[in-house]
Amino acid sequence: MYVRATMQELLRTAVGYSFEAVAYCFMPDHMHGLFEALTDNANFVKFAAMFKQRSAFHFKRATGLSLWQEGFHDRILRNDESTLGIAAYIIQNPVRAGLCEDPRQYQFMGSSRYTIDELLDAIAWRP
C-alpha cells in the first residue's frame, strides 16, 4: 500500500522537476532508479530532495515512522556507459534478491518511458 503511493509520488515529482524515470525499483529496504533530465536546467538534487520529502511526509503521517535515511547515493552516467546496462541491473534486482523469478512478477518497479516488456526486450533478458 505505501509502496504504491511512493511510486506515484516518484512519478509525479519526476514530471514536476523535468525528469523521466527510465527505470526504477523499490526493494524492501531501498530503491534504485535511473533518471534522465529532460531539460538543461533540471536539478537532480532538488528532484531527489522533493521526492523524499513528499513521500516521507505521507508515510510518517500514516505510520509515525521515518521512511528514508539521510542523503542518497547518486552517480552520473558518462557517454561511454550503457544506460541499458544500468536499467538491466535495476529491473533484475528483485530476481537476484529472490523476490521473484521473472521481473514481470514484481509489482514495485517500472518506467515512465517504457513498459517492463520493452525494457526486458531491450536488455535481452531471458528467464
Q: Which domains does the chain have, with CATH numbers?
A: 2-122 (3.30.70.1290)
- Checking if the pLDDT of 125 tops 90, the result is no
pLDDT at res. 120: 85
Neighbour tally for 77: CB within 10 Å: 12
pLDDT at res. 79: 67
Q: What are phi and psi of 101, to 5 degrees?
A: -100, -20
Amino acid found at 86: I
pTM across the whole model: 0.87
User: Please, is 55 exposed, middle or buried when counting C-beta atoms within 10 Å of its C-beta (0-12, 13-18, 19+)?
Assistant: buried
* Sheet with 19-26, edge to edge strand ranges: 31-37, 19-26, 109-110
Which of these, 116, 127, 53, lies nearest to 90 by C-alpha position?
Answer: 116
pLDDT tens digits, 35-73: 999 999 999 999 999 999 999 988 888 889 888 877 677
